[in-house]
Amino acid sequence: MNDNQQLQELKQQFHPYVPMLTLLSSALGAAVPLYILSFQRRGGITDDDIARVQSYLEDLTAHGDDLYFRSRKRGETAHRFDQVAEIIAVISFSLGGITVFGLHFETRPWRAQTQHTSFLKHRRIGLRSVQRHMWWGCILNRSNLFFCGVIGTIYEITHFTL
C-alpha cells in the first residue's frame, strides 16, 4: 500500500470526527486567548499554575471522552473543555508555543514575568520533540483521535519538559 492509499484510508476513518474537531478548534480558538490574557494580567504563569495543570492529567485521562460525548453529569463536559483550554494556555508561555488542531498559541514573555519563563526557554528541544509526538499520537491512535494525541503531549510536556 502506497502513501496516497494510506492517507485516503486515514481520511475515511477520521471522517466522523471532522465536524466535531472543527467545532472544538473554533471553541479553543476563542477560549485559550482569554486564559492567556488572564495569565498576562497577573504577570505570567507561576509554579502554582503549572501544578494545577499537572493535576488535571489524572482527571482528563479518566474522563477525556467527555470532550467527544456529552457527560451525564451536568457541567462535566464544560469542565473538561476548560481544563484543556487552560493547559494549552499554560504551554503557550513556553518558547515555541504549542500547535494543536491547526491553531498555534505562543505567548511572548513580558519583563514582569518570573524566572519560570526563562526556565522554559532552556527546554526548547524537549518541546519540539513532544509536539511531534502529539501529532504522531493523533495519526496512530485511530480510535480516539483528540484525547490520546493531546493528552499524550501534555503528559510529556508537564512531566518531562516542565
Asked if residue 67 lies in contact with residue 84, where contact means CB atoms within 8 angstroms, the answer is yes
Residue 105 DSSP SS3: strand
Q: pTM for the whole thing? A: 0.58
Asked if residue 94 lies in contact with residue 61, where contact means CB atoms within 8 angstroms, the answer is no
What pLDDT, on the 0 to 100 scale, is given for residue 8?
Answer: 67
Express each pLDDT in 90-112 by its tens digit.
999 988 888 887 788 888 765 44
* pLDDT surpassing 70 at residue 159: no
Instruction: Kindly state the average pLDDT of the residues 111-136.
Output: 39
Residue 127 DSSP SS3: helix
Residue 83 dihedral angles phi and psi, to the nearest 5°:
-60, -45
What pLDDT, on the 0 to 100 scale, is given for residue 107?
Answer: 86
Cα 6 to Cα 97, 102, 138, 145: the distances in Å are 30, 21, 15, 16
Could you state, in order of their start, the residue ranges of all structural domains in the chain? Answer: 16-161
What pLDDT, on the 0 to 100 scale, is given for residue 59?
Answer: 84
Average pLDDT of the chain, as a whole number: 68
* pLDDT surpassing 90 at residue 36: yes
**Of the ranges 42-51, 60-69, 72-81, the best mean pLDDT one:** 42-51
The rounded Cα 85 to chain-centroid distance in angstroms is 7
Decide which of 67 and 135 is more confident: 67
Asked if residue 86 lies in contact with residue 35, where contact means CB atoms within 8 angstroms, the answer is yes
